[in-house]
Chain A
Amino acid sequence: MRQAESALDADFSAFASARLGSLMRFALAVSGSPAVAEDLVQTALLKTALRWGSIRDKSQAEAYVRTSIVRLHINSWRRVLHRETAVSHLPDVGLVDAALGRAEDREQLWSALRALPPRQRAVVVLRFLYDQTEAQTADQLGCSVGTVKSQNAKALASLRGRLDAAPVPGGFDD
């Protein structure tokens, strides 16, 4: 029996297969939610697949999928479908140190990151996790550098506040 011809370009399939894990993690970092991340990656890849023939510089494809993911998330209609759940409280015990090497510290930072508003979270992820400059971050978010700066400042203040507020092991309140 003849197998149905794939609707996806072979190059695109290879690209998507190779980069899926990376894109999922990026979407998770931007959205804070595995369900939303899956939606974002699926939709961004679909948009890319439909335009694949017109993308002559295939080396830029992942950058554009990422940009698409960020913008899809900022256009927050999706959050209605899979509402984000901001944690109401931080773990009972946590240690905040510079390296954040312990598992509970990582979980605490991850919780604090997810609690940020979408745009602030996107700024932090792009600026620090993906090492983009303020100008590059502004380009990807479709906003001004000034907005990136202000959102970044608010986000870091919020993260620091949440991390600093966490109780230190051994320091019990009487």
Chain B
Amino acid sequence: MTESSWHDALDLAVPELAAPPDMLPRLEHAVRVHRRRRRGAAAGSALLVAAVVVSAVLAPGLWRQGGKAQPATGSGPTASRPAPTTSAAHPVLITTPCQAADDPMGTVPATKPLAADFKPTQAFLCVDSSRAYPGDGSWSVLLGQRLTGDLQPLIQALRHPAELTRLTPSAGPGGALGGSACAYSYLATPTIVLYDAAGTAVRAVFPRDDCGQPRPAVSAALAALHRTTIQVLKLRQEQTQGQTLSAKAAAKVGCQPQWKDEFSMGALASVLSTGAPISWQTAEVTACLFADNGSDPTVGDFVAGRRLTAADRSKYLVAIGLPGHRGTCAPDHREFVVFTSGNSYASVEVGGCWRVQRQDGGVGSLGSANGALVLELVGSLSG
């Protein structure tokens, strides 16, 4: 099959999928939980800052000016940098074309065409990507890529006023425009940075059509150019080294480095008091303790874990199958234990009303009486 027939075939093959009606309310709940935790963390940080300030006032000799002041970087996305005094015959060699502000997540695209009197001699892309750094976890990065080849088609496309974005409220991906449906996809576009011979930079808008799609002419012009990555700019850490090491420790005891914290998502707010016995097919059961990582309320990070003995299994698996609290539960936990056995699992909230989430979708609650047994297990795992 050709590329277009693959597209058509896949477009027919991939079914539509309706979102559950409570998805947005659950999302709102999760945002509230996150912000509440952030406020708690901020209060702790404020105390720490206050302590530092007090110590600096009381013992100024302990503090020293650590580095040079950084100049303010208040230039807008289309602002030019100061032009170095270099002759046009010897263009400035740009080695760091991208700035953190070029992260397309935070960039305001220019809304005017590339000026006719601006003569680009070098072109770059700033592309959002992700990279692992040994010893420093993984990071969201911005790749500065030099474009080489015939730049004229790209420059012409960027100069053409008709190519500018004209998004209309009724159009956009998935919308309808002039009776024809817009494609569902919305393609990310990198920031294009152009330099003239004097080293003046212009950040160019990536032209899109009325459906919000990148103009094919620009995409084609870019595709014809060769890209060489010359800059890797760290933006945000996605995973700390500690999380990387934690992943190794988790694997050692048969646990996952992270687990989804469904108790924080609000979907399990109402629970029944009735329990249900745990009857798993395999005898090997691992208990893994996860703690909320503070930055993402939907995820717990691995803390500790171990394989359960036969005596453990008879005690704890019975406990998590017993009935307990009935009613509504507010998110009131920082940790949860996940019991896994083959493809089966059950996760237990440590604290609050001790909810139990089972793989079959059942939601129960231990209540604090039976939760004490799980707390005993948590103590043995952490110890």
Contact = CB atoms under 8 A, between A and B. Distances in A.
A57 B212 CA distance: 13
Interface in A11-42: 13, 16-22, 24-29, 34, 37-39, 41-42
Interface string A81-115: 10100000000000000111100001101100100
B12 A63 contact: no
A18 B340 CA distance: 38
B237 to A, nearest CB: 14
A101 B5 CA distance: 11
Given A129-B10, A132-B187, A25 B17 contact: yes
A135 B223 contact: yes
Contacts of B259: 77, 80-81
Interface residues of B, number: 71
Contacts of A124: 6, 10
A142 interface: yes
Interface string B172-192: 111000000001111111100
Nearest to B247: A77
Nearest to A100: B9
A38, A66, A139 — which one has the most chain B CB atoms within 10 A of its CB?
A139
Contacts of B27: 8, 16, 42, 45-46, 49
Q: Interface range on chain A: under 10, 10 to 19, 20 to 34, or 35 or more?
A: 35 or more
Interface string B1-12: 101011111111
B28 A8 contact: yes
Interface in B1-44: 1, 3, 5-20, 23-24, 26-32, 34-35
Given A54-B105, A56-B106, A129-B185, 15 more contacts: A7-B31, A8-B28, A18-B174, A21-B19, A26-B184, A29-B10, A39-B260, A41-B23, A46-B30, A57-B107, A62-B173, A62-B186, A100-B8, A106-B9, A106-B13
**Smallest CB-CB A-B distances: 7 pairs:** A142-B130, A63-B188, A100-B9, A109-B13, A128-B6, A130-B185, A62-B186
Interface of B: 1, 3, 5-20, 23-24, 26-32, 34-35, 104-109, 127-131, 143, 165, 167, 172-174, 183-190, 208, 212, 219, 223, 227, 256-260, 265, 296-298, 340, 343, 345
5 contacts: A17-B24, A21-B174, A51-B105, A129-B185, A136-B187
